[in-house]
A and B are shown apart, each in its own frame.
Chain A
Amino acid sequence: MQQLIYIIASVLFIIGLKRLGSAATARQGNFISAVGMALALLATLVDSGFSWGFIIAGIVVGGAIGAVSAKRVAMTGMPEMVALFNGSGGIASVFVGWASAKPGMEIAESIPLYLAVLIGGVTFTGSVVAYLKLSEKIDGKPVMFKGQQPVNIALMALILLFGALFCMSPSGFGDPWLILAILLSFAFGVMVVIPIGGADMPVVIALLNSYSGLAACAAGFIISNTVLIVSGALVGASGIILTGIMCKAMNRSLSNVLFSGFGSATASSGGADVQGEAKPISADDTYYILEAASSVIFVPGYGMAVAQAQHAVKELGALLEENGCEVQFAIHPVAGRMPGHMNVLLAEADVPYEQLVEPDDVNPNMAAADVAIVIGANDVVNPAARTDETSPLWGMPIINVDMAKTCIVLKRSLRPGYAGVENPLFFCENTRMLLGDAKASVQALVSQFKDG
């Protein structure tokens, strides 16, 4: 009976994920997946015996923490939230593995147990570091030091050694080799994420997402539980795919992201020869340009989220539409601090999802666009990716806003972007800089439209 319900739960997860593939059915898909989870849990709870107290107390406490944080989090803070959830999934697998350790386990159980605590441990501390970097509680710059590689290799060797010692003769919960392996996997998680720059966090979150699934999967092998294995594998695959998409969108390999310390040494090397005069523009003049435009493409980036400008941007978009202008929002896959982040922010501001388009769809029409408005995006619109072979961004697919008839860049200052690379877009012939706080600038344009 229990097995049957596990199968049904797995099927519901699969249907749920399938429905997540379209904005129209996604919410329903999430609900179906939640029903699967509830069924799997209920089927497991049936024969709980004397452990009821611990289980119910755990569910109540965890449920309260989860519910409150899910309700409170601002949409701008979603990357940090997902990083923390990844971490909690990771540590859960560590706890499950550790609590399942029994003296004299078979090797077919002790190896997955070791993998569950290892992957879970790395996921946990890695996610915490990612969270700290994203929330800027620690510096987002890559941390590199002399001897980093040897330290990592030594750590890895020790983790393997302790793992082997544990797997050969597991002595249960208090096994010193197991505990050492857990502690070292925590250290390893920190070491893996600190050399990665803040701009690469979308990749890291996706990767850790995958790990949290694989850890759950490993936990499933300990207790020969198919529903854990299936759902863990689904999540593992999902995270890997997202990681691949992110890497492709930045034109970099995964190993380059993980080991190169991107953004540390690049500021000096990239686009040093970019010179010229950036041409500022006033809100009044911007209004006249927009008023006459018949097609406008907005390109939002993380700066829009920081300035909390998404609602004002939506209003401006609506006013432009009323004015008979075609409006689109071009969203780069790595804009923001996690995959799809900008879409969520604009959805929150009530932008209909039909208006949210991907670079491949918008680039062919860019030359026909009257105005491209860049709001707080930088690296994803940097034409050096197309033109300057020495640029660290060379080859990255970008949104070609420099090809629009006029490009207006809303920016606080002329500083380079998060990756620390100069942007020749600011000095283009057809670029105008609307300097100042993005929200204030957009609001000024909105009131111009309302008065005009």
Chain B
Amino acid sequence: MELLFVFALAIFLGVELITKVPSQLHTPLMSGSNAISGITIVGAVIALQNLPEGNIMIPIIGFLAVVTATVNVIGGYLVTDRMLGMFKSKKGGE
């Protein structure tokens, strides 16, 4: 129940935060939030830490979970940084 409470608050917070982002920055916003959704990497690591005995398939699936989540994290942050590095102000700064 407490977790649902946290969930509900986070959704409202997200709505508040994102509504303020101008359409100019929507592409980096998407790739950046994409990187955040790579937080499943934490779930993947925890799943690997709590492996049940026996089935060799489970660690393999856990490994694949880490791989795909890391693609999201590393790829997402790097590509967002690359994009945002291109946004330049008239005054020459970033």
Contacts and interface: CB of A to CB of B under 8 A. Distances in A.
Of listed A78, A96, A222, A341, residue having the most chain B CB within 10 A: A96
A62 B66 contact: yes
A217 interface: yes
A234 B14 contact: yes
A358 B68 contact: no
Nearest to B62: A99
Contact of A70 (B3, B20, B78): B78
Given A89-B38, A233-B7, A236-B11, A34 B77 contact: yes
Contacts of B75: 65-67, 69-70, 81, 85, 88
Interface in A208-252: 209, 212-213, 215-217, 219-242, 245
A205 interface: yes
Given A51-B51, A78-B27, A343-B87, 6 more contacts: A22-B25, A89-B40, A95-B65, A209-B33, A213-B36, A344-B86
Contact of A65 (B59, B65, B67, B87): B67
11 contacts: A30-B80, A34-B77, A55-B48, A58-B64, A59-B66, A71-B82, A75-B86, A92-B44, A230-B7, A343-B27, A344-B27
Given A37-B36, A98-B61, A238-B14, A62 B45 contact: no
A173 interface: yes
B68 A339 contact: no
Nearest to B51: A51
Interface residues on A, range: 35 or more
B38 to A, nearest CB: 6
Nearest to B16: A237
Contact of A54 (B26, B66, B86, B90): B66
A40 B49 contact: no
A293 interface: no
B50 to A, nearest CB: 8
Contacts of A63: 70-71, 73-74
Given A20-B32, A69-B75, A233-B14, A354 B89 contact: yes
Interface of A: 13-14, 16-18, 20-24, 26-27, 29-31, 33-34, 37, 40-41, 44-45, 47-49, 51, 54-55, 57-59, 61-63, 65-67, 69-71, 73, 75, 78, 81-82, 85-86, 88-89, 91-93, 95-96, 98-100, 102, 172-174, 205-206, 209, 212-213, 215-217, 219-242, 245, 331, 333, 338-341, 343-344, 347-348, 350, 352-356, 358
B87 A33 contact: no
B52 A237 contact: no
B89 A99 contact: no
Given A30-B32, A44-B45, A95-B65, A37 B7 contact: no
Top-8 shortest CB links A-B: A62-B70, A58-B66, A237-B14, A66-B75, A340-B26, A95-B65, A66-B74, A339-B26
A225 B41 CA distance: 12
A99 B37 contact: no
B89 A229 contact: no
A98 to B, nearest CB: 6
Contact of A338 (B12, B27, B44): B27
B6 to A, nearest CB: 6
Contacts of A173: 52, 55, 57-58, 61
A20 B21 contact: yes
Contacts of B40: 89, 92-93, 96, 215-216, 219, 228
B34 A212 contact: yes
Contact of B43 (A26, A48, A223): A223
Interface string B1-29: 00100110011111101111111111111
Given A54-B48, A235-B33, A341 B84 contact: no
Contacts of A14: 13, 17
Contacts of B38: 37, 89, 92, 216
Nearest to B28: A26
A40 B67 contact: no
A153 to B, nearest CB: 28
B39 A59 contact: no
A24 B14 contact: no
A347 B30 CA distance: 16
B80 to A, nearest CB: 5
A73 B43 CA distance: 28
